[in-house]
């Protein structure tokens, strides 16, 4: 049975939905409660048993690469500022996984970003976790990537996570057309990138977690730019579902699009409510606020 030990985290996008922040700081380095977005994503991969993590960083995104480097200056500063907890989280990641950084020289699309990871992935299967999406499983549950890895290791078929969205949100996502095979599990029959709600009957959206058989790399190598002049992962997944097959599964976890203004705020509030130091004060503040709005 194939084991999934490698992952790609694409984080080289331009982040146009968050432009004010990205002018100075890459959106993946924005803080949710007490850690940058990218740390939550890397932690999810490590908890799912991933050993080699390929960060795809782009122009102006040095801060992401630097964050995981051993840096005397950063560690000294974190220690002096009393941020030992954050330091512990970063050190734990460094002990448990290799973080490898690869530069995507031009933001030519998610498909292209994934292809940039080929020198490290080689011929192995791999997970993909979008660098601006956070998922948070309930205590004691396995996370979304771990759920996908388990399904892939049992079936040897590439598997992606899907979630139901409302009509108004269909055009924000890649949408999978599916046939249900068992509760929560589907065979993907087609995919369409950011369709109008009238262009598909499906409301199953892709929230940014995938596990692929290595065939996707062969397909991506031959892919041509399409929508917005970018190499779209969706096009290659569509070919995959017509050839090798592609499965989809729902997941049990909260999920936040932290690369979006509303999603960023929601992540801060909800993860803040889970933080023992903040929970009570934040809850009181929110309850008071509700009476005023």
Binding site for ligand UTP (CB under 6 A): 10-18, 56, 104, 107-110, 112-113, 130-132, 259
CA distance 113 to 16: 17
Q: Which of 70, 230, 257, 43 is nearest to 143 (CA)?
A: 43
* 256 vs 282 by CB, closer to ligand UTP: 256
* 110 vs 249 by CB, closer to ligand UTP: 110
* 14 vs 265 by CB, closer to ligand UTP: 14
DSSP-derived secondary structure letter, 229: G
* 77 vs 105 by CB, closer to ligand UTP: 105
CB 168 to ligand UTP: min, Å: 17
Is residue 41 a contact partner of residue 68, using CB atoms and an 8 Å limit? no
CB 18 to ligand UTP: min, Å: 6
CA distance 258 to 27: 8
Q: Which of 93, 3, 17, 95 is nearest to 55 (CA)?
A: 93
Is residue 236 a contact partner of residue 128, using CB atoms and an 8 Å limit? no
Q: Which residue is nearest to ligand UTP (CB)?
A: 13
The β-bridge partners of 192 are 175
CB 81 to ligand UTP: min, Å: 28
* 64 vs 249 by CB, closer to ligand UTP: 64
117-130: burial string, b at 16+ Cβ within 10 Å, e else:
bbebbeebbbbbbb
CB 230 to ligand UTP: min, Å: 6
């Amino acid at each position: 049975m194939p084991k999934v030990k490698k992952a790609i985290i694409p984080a080289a996008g331009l982040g146009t939905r968050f432009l004010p922040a990205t002018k100075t700081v890459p959106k993946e380095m924005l803080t949710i409660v007490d850690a940058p977005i990218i740390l939550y994503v890397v932690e999810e991969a490590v908890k799912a048993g991933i050993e080699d993590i390929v960060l795809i960083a782009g122009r102006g995104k040095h801060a992401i690469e630097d964050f995981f480097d051993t840096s005397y200056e950063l560690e000294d500063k974190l220690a002096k500022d009393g941020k030992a907890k954050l330091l512990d989280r970063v050190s734990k990641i460094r002990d448990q996984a290799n973080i490898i950084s690869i530069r995507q020289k031009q933001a030519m699309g998610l498909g292209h970003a994934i292809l940039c990871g080929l020198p490290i992935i080689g011929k192995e299967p791999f997970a993909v976790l979008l660098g601006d999406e956070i998922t948070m499983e309930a205590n004691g549950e396995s996370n979304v990537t771990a759920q996908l890895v388990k399904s892939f290791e049992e079936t040897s078929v590439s598997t992606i996570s899907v979630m139901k969205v409302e009509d108004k949100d269909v055009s924000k996502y890649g949408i999978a057309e599916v046939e249900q095979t068992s509760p929560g599990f589907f065979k993907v029959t087609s995919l369409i990138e950011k369709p109008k709600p009238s262009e598909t009957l499906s409301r199953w959206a892709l929230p940014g977690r995938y596990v692929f058989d290595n065939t996707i790399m062969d397909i991506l190598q031959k892919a041509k730019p399409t929508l917005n002049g970018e190499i779209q992962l969706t096009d290659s997944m569509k070919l995959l579902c017509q050839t090798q097959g592609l499965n989809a599964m729902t997941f049990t976890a909260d999920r936040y699009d932290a690369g979006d203004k509303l999603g960023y705020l929601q992540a801060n509030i909800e993860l803040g409510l889970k933080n023992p130091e903040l929970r009570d004060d934040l809850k009181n503040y929110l309850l008071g606020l509700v009476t005023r709005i």
